[in-house]
Structures are given as C-alpha cells and as structure tokens.
Amino acid sequence: MLDKKQLLEMLLELAKEAGVEAVRKLAPPADLGKIIKELNQKVNAVSTAMGRYSNGDAFCWKKAKGKNGSARTALVAAANKFRSTKNWPVAHDFAVRALKVAEGLPEFREESCNEGRNKAIGALEKLRDDAAAHL
C-alpha cells in the first residue's frame, strides 16, 4: 500500500510523462457539492436576515446588507478560484451550478441595492462563458 507522499510522487511523475490532461482524464470527477452547499447557505442567510415579511424595499436591504455582501464575496471569490485553476471542465460545471444559487439572491426595488447580486451573477456568467470557450 502506498502512503500519501508516494502516491503524490507517482501522480507527479505520471503527469510529467503522460501530461496533465491525461491525469485529469483518469482522475475522478470533482465533488462540488460541499462548496455549492456552503454558497447556498450564504444565499439563504440573506433571505433570513431580511425577515419573514420582507418586500424588497430599502429597509429590507439595510437588514440584509451584511449577509448580502458576504454571499456576493463568497460567490465571486469561488469563481475567481476556479478560474485560476484553469481546469475548464470543472470550472464550467461549477459556474452552471453556482449560477442557480446566485439567482436565489433577492432582488430589491432600488437598482443600487442589486449591485452585489449583479456582480456575483456577472462573475459566474463570465466564468461559464470562458470555460465553455476552452472546452
């Protein structure tokens, strides 16, 4: 049985010999469930912070501003992280799944309050389109 260090050395040597793409093809698919779940919790926290009878006005925005910013930051940071890996099939899968989560962010009446939502969705759409272009 190989230990973790030996296994890593073997994978690195295989990558040198056969190429990184060959190793990616042999590797199991990425498990995005955990990160999608975390992002979904952050998005759900926005609605919780707004309150049960929210109507999307400025008062609701002020109540949920911190949670909204946290969700936006997490979504954009995750998109940037997947972009930097340049593993385009995984990045595309993540972007498609995360877009569904980001679209769950509430829309407010005032457009200026939707800036965070729009930024998160824009970053994920750009990642999706860039990843699709590299597939």
- Calculate Rg over the CA atoms of the chain: 19
59, 8: one domain: no
- Residue 79 is predicted with a pLDDT of 97
- Residue 105 is predicted with a pLDDT of 95
- Residue 51 is predicted with a pLDDT of 87
21, 9: one domain: yes
- Residue 91 is predicted with a pLDDT of 95
24, 55: one domain: no
- Residue 11 is predicted with a pLDDT of 80
66, 79: one domain: yes
Question: Tokens in use for 38?
Answer: 């975390």
| Residues of the chain below pLDDT 50 | none
Contacts of 107 (CB under 8 A, 6+ apart): 56, 114, 117
Contacts of 16 (CB under 8 A, 6+ apart): none
74, 39: one domain: yes
Tokens 């190989």 — which residue?
A: 2
Cβ proximity of 78 and 94 under 8 Å: yes
54, 117: one domain: yes
- Residue 98 is predicted with a pLDDT of 97
5, 55: one domain: no
40, 75: one domain: yes
- Residue 67 is predicted with a pLDDT of 95
20, 66: one domain: no
Neighbours of 117 (CB within 10 A): 22
**1 exposure class (CB count in 10 Å sphere: 0-12, 13-18, 19+):** exposed
Neighbours of 105 (CB within 10 A): 24
Looking at 51-114, list the stretches that DSSP marks H as alpha helix, in order from N- to C-terminal side: 58-85, 88-102
- Could you list the residue range(s) of the whole structural domain that residue 113 is in? 31-134
Cβ proximity of 42 and 101 under 8 Å: no
122, 97: one domain: yes
- Residue 22 is predicted with a pLDDT of 75
